[in-house]
Structure 1
Amino acid sequence: MTDTSKTTESRRTALIVGASRTLGLGIAAEYLRRGWEVIGTVRGTHRTGLHDLAEEAGGRLTVESLEMTDPAQLTALRDRLAGRTLDLLFVNAAVTRGDLPIGEVPTEVFTEVMVTNALSPMRVVDVLGPLVPPTGTIGVMSSDQGSVSLNTEGGQDLYRASKSALNQLMRCHAARTTGDPRTLLLMDPGWVRTELGGPDAELSVEESVPGVVETIERHHGTSGLHFLDHRGEVVPW
Structure 2
Amino acid sequence: MPTPSSDKTLLLIGASRGLGYALAVEYLQRGWRVVATERAGSRSRLHDLAEASDGRLEVETVDINDPVLVGALRARLSSWTFDLLFINAGVTNNPRETIAEVATQEFIRVMVTNALSPMRVLESLQDLVVPTGTLGIMSSGQGSVADNEAGSREVYRASKAALNTLMRSFAARHRDDPRAMLLIAPGWVRTDMGGPEGRLSIEESIPKVADTIDAQSGKAGLQYLDYLGRTVRW
The answer to whether structure 1 residue 164 and structure 2 residue 161 are counterparts is: yes
The answer to whether structure 1 residue 60 and structure 2 residue 52 are counterparts is: no
1:33: Cα distance to partner?
0.3
Runs of 5+ unmatched residues, structure 1? none
C-alpha distance in 2 between matches for 1:205 and 1:52: 19
The answer to whether structure 1 residue 112 and structure 2 residue 109 are counterparts is: yes
The range that moved more, 60-69 or 192-201, is 192-201
TM-score by length of 2: 0.96
Residue of structure 1 equivalent to 2:82: 86
C-alpha distance in 2 between matches for 1:90 and 1:154: 28
The answer to whether structure 1 residue 222 and structure 2 residue 216 are counterparts is: no
Match of 1:210 among 207, 210, 234: 207
1:183: Cα distance to partner?
0.4
The answer to whether structure 1 residue 101 and structure 2 residue 98 are counterparts is: yes
The alignment partner of 2:43 has SS state of coil
Runs of 5+ unmatched residues, structure 2? none
Q: What letter matches 1:98 in structure 2?
A: N
1:197: Cα distance to partner?
1.3
Moved over 4 A (4+): none
Residue of structure 1 equivalent to 2:121: 124
Aligned residues: 230
1:155-206: CA deviations, max 9, x gaps? 0000000000000000000001111000000000001001221101110111
Match of 1:72 among 68, 91, 109: 68
C-alpha distance in 1 between matches for 2:166 and 2:122: 11
Residue of structure 2 equivalent to 1:20: 16
Q: Identity rate of aligned residues, in percent? A: 55
1:29-44 aligned at under 5 Å gives the runs 29-44=25-40
Residue of structure 2 equivalent to 1:186: 183
Q: What letter matches 1:146 in structure 2?
A: G
TM-score by length of 1: 0.95
